[in-house]
Amino acid sequence: MKYQVQENCLTIYLPREVDHHSAEEMKREADAVIDRNHIKYVIFDFEKTDFMDSSGIGVIMGRYKTICLIGGEVWAVHANARIRKILTLSGAAKIMQIYEEDES
Amino acid sequence: MKNTNEMEIRFDSRSENEGFARVAVAAFMTQLNPTVEEVADVKTAVSEAVTNAIIHGYEGEVKKVTIRCRIEENVFVVEVSDRGKGIENIEEAMQPMFTTLPEQDRSGMGFAFMEAFMDSLEVESSPGNGTIVKMKKTVGKGREIWTTQSL
């Protein structure tokens, strides 16, 4: 998993395909990083992602449950139309902030 | 005579194979000349069904998952089956947000996604006898009108 920590903010650079296989490893690593660095904000960066199924939703929901207890937030950036559809359909869009960049 | 075509694949219930399964199905589907959206819908649905077979059907044990695909004119039929433990209460399992594994961060959206992205979904299962998930999708809906107009 590629990630970056800046103060209390963790950015997770998601792989090309987020499924049950890639989600398992991501969950483990993300939880360790969140624990160690007192993370309050988690940013999911979908720049490289063109496939995600409900396992990805599980990853987002799970991290949200952890950090919302300390008043944290979950963000999505660079999500394409397909990813946004998945986020909306699953209800994940209601608990997270989706950063909309200008499409130029 | 209807225009039909079929394929079948069988693979180990390892999570590495989830990517293979949806790409194989997507490749077979291309002969219907689907849109990018339609391919993405089928890939997501197949991914959900295969993930279910691996984590719920076989509970991590390595056995075989079978996918059967059938094309009938412009209808794409895909059947994902396992010989695993089966589902006790199908109705309950199909409810959005229902999961038997909340501690593993499963979202409980698998069947909801299959229903949302395919035209129809049938689940056959009984405890101890495995599960068959049968999904259908009509490919190229509404495209005909456009073709007729352009001619």
What Å distances lie between residue B98 and A44, B110, B112, B115, CA to CA? Answer: 25, 9, 10, 15
With 60 as the cut, is the pLDDT of residue B150 above it? no
* Subunit contact A21:B48, Cβ cutoff 8 A: no
* 3-state secondary structure at position B115: helix
As its CATH architecture, domain B4-150 has 2-Layer Sandwich (3.30)
**Whether the predicted pLDDT of A1 surpasses 50:** yes
pLDDT in tens, B76-87: 999 999 999 999
**3-class DSSP state for residue B142?**
coil
B18 catalytic? Reply is: no
Asked whether the beta carbons of A9 and B44 are under 8 A apart, the reply is no
Of the listed ranges A49-63, A86-100, B94-108, the least confidently predicted one is B94-108
- Where does the pLDDT of residue A104 fall: very low under 50, low under 70, confident under 90, or very high at 90 and above? very low
* CA-based nearest residue to B63, from B6, B130, B145: B130
Amino acid B141: pLDDT = 77
User: Which residue segments constitute the domains of chain A, with CATH numbers given?
Assistant: 2-98 (3.30.750.24)
Q: Is B119 helix (H, G, I), strand (E, B) or coil?
A: coil
C-alpha distances out from residue A49 to A44, A53, A62, A73, B19, Å: 10, 11, 19, 21, 14
- What predicted TM-score, i.e. pTM, was given to this entire model? 0.91
pLDDT in tens, A56-95: 999 999 999 999 999 999 999 999 999 999 999 999 999 9
Domain positions in chain B:
4-150
Mean residue pLDDT across chain B? 92
User: Quick check: is B5 catalytic?
Assistant: no
Judge: A54–B107 Cβ closer than 8 Å, yes or no: yes
CB B47 to CB A24 under 8 A?
A: no
